[in-house]
Structure 1
Amino acid sequence: MSTSSFDTCPKSTSDKDKWKTRPPYRVHLPNEKFHTLYEASCHCGRVKYQLGREKPLDSKLCHSAPFQWAAIFHKDDINFVKGHHCLEWYDPTEKTVEHKLPCKVRCDYCHSPIMDEGRNMILLFPSLIHFKSDKERENFKPRLHMFYQQRVMDVPDGLPKWSGINEDSELIEDSPPEKIKEEERERIKR
């Protein structure tokens, strides 16, 4: 059986490729019994992955550049089943295309953004997840807005709106009063 160029990705064994053996890119072996709760893929299907956590650690709407809906996960919560060798990185700090944290990760073929990889966590883009029910989608519902002062339009959705990174910034006045009180109670508990 022949393999089309669409199904193959460049393979490399250089020292620079050690990322392939570490989370989030390390492929879980069958005997590790990764518990799959969700499946996702880039738009062309060249990169496929699974998630093993029912709900993200957090889910946010970020108004920084670019505007994005992001769900935060531990790096061990993801299992690439296809195409992890077909990923490209972009380091926005140094403006280079290398795997240097933090970085942006995308499919090298269709250029779908897959995630932002930080030093300890990943920010996945829920729009790539193949939800099987409204209940599953509800698990990823955004809890808040961050960098809302940089918005290009008002979003009257009843969610708290932070000027920067939540809890490290100020709540913006047009946040619903009951949500502001709820957020403040949560901050005090911590």
Structure 2
Amino acid sequence: MAEDVPTGSDPFPNSISGVTNKASWKHRSPYKIQSDEEFGPVKWVGRCQCGQIEYKLNREKPLKSKYCHCRGCQVLHGAPFQWATIFHKPDITFTKGADGLAFYSSTEKSREYMNPTKVSCSFCHTPIMDEGRNVCLLFPAAIDYGSTEQEREKWIRAFEVECHIFYSCRAVEIPDRKPKWSGLDDRSELLDDSGNPKKT
């Protein structure tokens, strides 16, 4: 929480605030700060674990929602798979902490901003999103689902997973009757729940 940060100290020890005013990425979606009128009605709010970073979404449902079982996602998230949802960049705007974002290019092994990039909170290191060239992958677990059972049900329906990708690299088997692709969806072989090629 923000109140745990000692008074007078920089809440972001690895802050990039010294360069953000000149950085071109800060002046375009999803980083560009927008007025409420410009952004439109807020459908969801997400935040990092420490609360220093906060963003909002103006789209009710993502373009797609999927579980990714690739080795990169397993290592980065420290979990058997990653739950990711796809949004257009203008669907997102940061309301707090944009100067405290940290970037990492897994292809270049660099912390300099470049596209595509992985975005996290530089204070608590919560993954915020993967910014691609045209879209962003957000993580529904960081999106607030409210305090009532009805609000939680709405969240579950909005971010329901449509398929699994890179299921050939799975650490666990998930018998959920969702399509399971050996690699990218619609561009690889369909597998059954046990990882065997699906009979057509």
Which category describes the TM-score, using the shorter chain as reference length? 0.7 to 0.9
Which of 119, 129, 146 pairs up with 2:165? Answer: 146
Determine if contact 1:106/1:113 at 8 Å carries over to the other structure.
Answer: yes
Q: TM-score, normalised by structure 2?
A: 0.81
2: CA distance, partners of 1:7 / 1:100: 20
Q: 1:127 to 1:61 in 2, by over 3 A?
A: same
Residue in structure 1 matching 2:11, options 6, 10, 33: 6
Q: Does the aligned pair in 1 maintain the 2:12–2:122 contact within 8 Å?
A: no
After TM superposition, the structure 1 = structure 2 runs for residues 151-190 of structure 1, keeping only pairs within 5 Å, are 151-174=170-193
1:99 aligns with 2:113: yes
Please say if 1:123 is aligned against 2:137. yes
Give distance in 2, aligned partners of 1:173 and 1:30.
Answer: 45
C-alpha distance in structure 2 between counterparts of 1:174 and 1:120, whole Å: 31
- Confirm or deny: 8 A CA contact 2:174 2:193 kept in the other structure: no
TM value normalised by structure 1? 0.85
Structure 1 gap segments, 5+ residues each: 185-190
Is the 1:28–1:34 contact (alpha carbons within 8 Å) kept by the matching residues of 2? Answer: no
User: Residues 149 and 7 of structure 1: is their aligned pair in 2 closer, same or farther, counting only changes over 3 Å?
Assistant: closer
Q: Which amino acid aligns with 2:10?
A: S
Provide the residue aligned with 1:61 in structure 2.
67
Pick from 18, 26, 44: which aligns with 2:32? 26
Question: In structure 1, what is the equivalent of residue 4 of structure 2?
Answer: none
Shift of 1:40: 0.8
- Show structure 1 runs of 4+ deviating over 6 A: none
Identify which range, 106-115 or 61-70, moves more after superposition.
61-70
- Structure 2 counterpart of 1:40, from 46, 49, 52: 46
Deviation at 1:32, TM superposition (A): 1.4
Give the superposed CA RMSD. Answer: 2.4
